[in-house]
Copies of this chain bind each other. A is one copy, B any other.
C-alpha cells in the first residue's frame, strides 16, 4: 500500500509503451518492467498522476486482448463466467506525447478525454439555469409545501390570468423566504381540496393555452407534490407543469443486448454490448425525428413505475409484457433542472419556464432474437448501436444527436457498466454534474 511516486515515470512509460507497441515485450513483461522499475521512491516530479494512470490503462487494454488466448485454456473460461472485454481501455497511448510536450494527444473519435468533455457538455445542456434566472425564481407554495418554481414574470402572469374575476394565483408576502422574496401561491377561491385546486389551476392554464402561451397540450395530468411518494396537492396538465416548475417524473429504459447471452441454441454470442436506439416519429410534438431510448415515457399519477415501464415497453416497442417484466430492472434515477426560454407572440411578458425532471432509469436486457417494433406510432424505427457509436454521439456537433435528456440516462449507464474509465481526467466532474440535480 505504500507505492509512492514513480521516478521518471513519464520516460519509463514511454519506453514500455514503445516496446509493447513494437513487439519485443509482451504486455505482462512490460508490466513487470514498469513495476520493478518504478515502485518505491518518494518524489513529486512530473507526470505524477496522469501519465502513470494512462500507461496502466493502455497496458491493461492490451493485456485484456492478449488474455483471450491466455484464458481459453483455464477453468471457467468457456462457461461465461467473465465480463466481456469492454471499452474501458480504448484510449490511445498518448503517454509519449505527454512526456515530450505535456499536451494531450490529438483528437480521435475515441479519445476518451474528448468523450469525457463531450459528456460534460451534454449534461450541461440539460442543467441549463443562468444565474440571473436562478436568483429571481420564486417558489410555488401551497399549505406550506414547496411544490415548484417560477420566474417573476411567469408568476405575475399567473396572478393576472383568470377566466373569472376571482384570481386563482397570488403572491404571498406573509410567508417570507430566506431570500426575502414572496412566494407564489393559490388564492382561497381555489378551494382547499386537490380536486378544487386542480380545477382552478386548469382554468388558468386553459386560458394561457387559448392565448398561445402554453403549447403542446397533452390531455395528461401530472401530480403536483413536494415529493414523489407524497399525496399531490393538485394535478396539472403535463404541458402546463413547467409554468409552475413542478417536478415531473419519467421512466427511461436502456434496451440492451449483452454479449454471451441469449442464443437459443445455448451457445454464447461473442462481441460487444449493444444498445437499442429508437428514431422518434417525425410527427411527435417534441423532438420529432430525433433519436431516443428504446422506451421512455412520462410517469402519470396512479400507476406503479414498473407497471409504467411494462406498459410503455408494449406500447412503444412491442416488447411482450412477460419479457419486459423479466428483463427490466431499476438501476437508479437522475434529475435535472432546465430554464427554457419562451418566445410568445404578441406582448405577453413571459421569459421562460422551469423544467424540473426526475427520470427513473431501467436497464432492459433483451434476447438477441428479439427485435423491437413500432406499435403506437411514437417511433419510426429501431436500430442497434455499439458503445463506440454512443460515445461518438456525445459530440456536441454530432450530426444526428439523441434527445437531450436521454444523454443523461445513457451517460449514467456508461458509468455504471464500466464503459467509462475513472482513470480519464474529467470522470469525477461528469459524475458530480450528472448528480447535481435535486433528485427529489
Contacts and interface: CB of A to CB of B under 8 A. Distances in A.
Nearest to A263: B79
Interface of A: 1-6, 9, 38, 42-44, 48-50, 52-57, 60, 63-64, 67, 70-71, 75-76, 78-83, 86, 88, 193-195, 198, 218-221, 223, 225, 227-232, 234-235, 260-267, 297-298, 300-307, 311-312, 315, 322, 325-327, 329-333, 358, 360, 363, 365, 367-369, 415-418, 420-423, 425-429, 431-432, 435, 438-440
A220 B1 contact: yes
Contact of A228 (B49, B220, B221, B415): B49
A368 B417 CA distance: 21
B57 A304 contact: yes
B229 A426 contact: yes
Q: Which 5 A-B pairs have the closest CB atoms?
A: A56-B304, A329-B418, A44-B194, A81-B262, A229-B425
A331 B438 CA distance: 22
12 contacts: A2-B221, A2-B300, A3-B302, A4-B235, A44-B234, A44-B301, A64-B325, A75-B264, A78-B266, A81-B261, A86-B329, A358-B428
Q: Which of the listed residues A78, A194, A330 has the most CB atoms from chain B within 10 Å of its own CB? A: A330
A368 B79 CA distance: 11
Q: Which of the listed residues A301, A420, A422, A425 has the most CB atoms from chain B within 10 Å of its own CB? A: A422
Contacts of A428: 227-229, 333, 358, 439-440
Contacts of A432: 438-440
A261 B330 CA distance: 21
Contacts of A265: 79
Nearest to A378: B1
Given A44-B232, A304-B57, A331-B417, A83 B322 contact: no
A276 to B, nearest CB: 15
B365 A82 contact: yes
Contacts of A44: 193-195, 198, 223, 231-232, 234-235, 301
B325 A76 contact: no
B82 A330 contact: no
Q: Which of the listed residues A3, A52, A57, A193 has the most CB atoms from chain B within 10 Å of its own CB? A: A3
Contacts of A63: 325
A301 B80 contact: no
Given A307-B56, A330-B88, A367 B81 contact: yes
Given A57-B306, A329-B417, 4 more contacts: A2-B219, A67-B325, A82-B367, A331-B418
A93 to B, nearest CB: 14
Given A5-B301, A6-B302, A220-B4, A420 B76 contact: no
Contacts of A75: 264, 367, 369
Contact of A76 (B56, B367, B429): B367
A227 B425 CA distance: 9
Given A4-B302, A63-B325, A223 B49 contact: yes
Contact of A422 (B5, B198, B330): B330
A423 B302 contact: no
Contacts of A235: 4, 42, 44
B48 A421 contact: no
A413 to B, nearest CB: 10
A265 B75 CA distance: 9
A369 B42 contact: no
B303 A3 contact: yes
Nearest to A315: B1
Contacts of A42: 221, 235
